[in-house]
């Protein structure tokens, strides 16, 4: 069952930033969470609500977001975030833990389509993404995240093409590879820096020894000259 946290409004960054970066900065970073994926959606079956709780007309943009807490053990959430027409703010709405997700319906396992359904313990949402590609990326990351963070009773993914469930491994392996490469490069640079530091220290010692030797040789030469 979804929880209804108090509406938290945060100013949205400039329109030049991507939606994901804007959402992450406005909603998730302040809550010590990291945004994994976000997709802009519209309901396929609109609720018959003439006016929203805010008192304004129902003109808004909806995002479905997948996030994880930075603290361990990590908790993963699916959150609906809205941006109302004429407003530069995001508002956090309904939220579920990923363990409450029971099924993801990709609608069509053969044809690329933007529609998908999320079925929870006590409710469901029928969405249409901005494009089939946006839906594809979101479902890929969601599937990968479920495999990683839910040890038992994983949600069922139905009517999903092989690229939605298989392509994600390539997507995340590539990301993991890049992350690993960056980490190794950083470690190598640190080790190189330490080695350079030791070389510089030894060089300094050698220079001091050479200077001492030169001074001693000069004194001996002056002594014999006298």
What confidence tens digit (pLDDT) does each residue in 143-179 have?
999 999 998 889 999 999 888 887 544 445 544 454 4
Domain count along the chain:
2
In this structure, the answer to whether residues 71 and 180 fall within a common structural domain is no
Provide the pLDDT confidence category of residue 59 given band limits of 50, 70 and 90. Answer: confident
Contact 38, 67 (CB under 8 A): no
The pTM of this model reads: 0.64
Overall average pLDDT of the 98-119 stretch: 96
Domain endpoint, select from 139, 165, 191: 165
- The pairing of strands 60-69 and 101-105 is unpaired
> Closest Cα partner for 79 from 92, 61, 91?
92
In this structure, the answer to whether residues 181 and 109 fall within a common structural domain is no
* Domain coverage including residue 226: 176-226
In this structure, the answer to whether residues 157 and 69 fall within a common structural domain is yes
Q: Is the pLDDT of residue 109 over 70?
A: yes
Neighbours of 169 (CB within 10 A): 13
């Amino acid at each position: 069952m979804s929880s209804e946290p108090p509406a938290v409004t945060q100013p949205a960054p400039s329109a030049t930033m991507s939606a994901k970066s804007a959402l992450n900065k406005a909603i998730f970073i302040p809550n010590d969470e990291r945004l994994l994926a976000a997709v802009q959606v519209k309901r396929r079956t609109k609720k018959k609500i003439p006016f929203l709780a805010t008192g304004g007309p129902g003109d808004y943009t909806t995002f479905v977001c997948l996030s994880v807490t930075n603290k361990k053990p990590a908790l993963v959430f699916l959150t609906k975030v809205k941006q109302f027409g004429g407003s530069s703010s995001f508002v956090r709405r309904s939220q579920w833990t990923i363990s409450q997700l029971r099924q993801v319906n990709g609608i069509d396992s053969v044809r690329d389509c933007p529609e998908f359904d999320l079925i929870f313990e006590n409710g469901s949402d029928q969405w249409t993404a901005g494009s089939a590609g946006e839906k594809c990326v979101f479902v890929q990351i969601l599937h990968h995240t479920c495999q990683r963070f839910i040890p038992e009773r994983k949600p069922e993914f139905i009517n999903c093409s092989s690229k939605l469930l298989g392509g994600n491994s390539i997507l995340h392996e590539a990301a993991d590879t890049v992350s690993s490469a960056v980490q190794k490069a950083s470690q190598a640079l640190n080790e190189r820096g330490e080695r350079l530091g030791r070389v510089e220290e030894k060089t300094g010692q050698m220079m001091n020894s050479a200077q001492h030797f030169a001074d001693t040789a000069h004194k001996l030469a002056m002594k014999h000259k006298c």
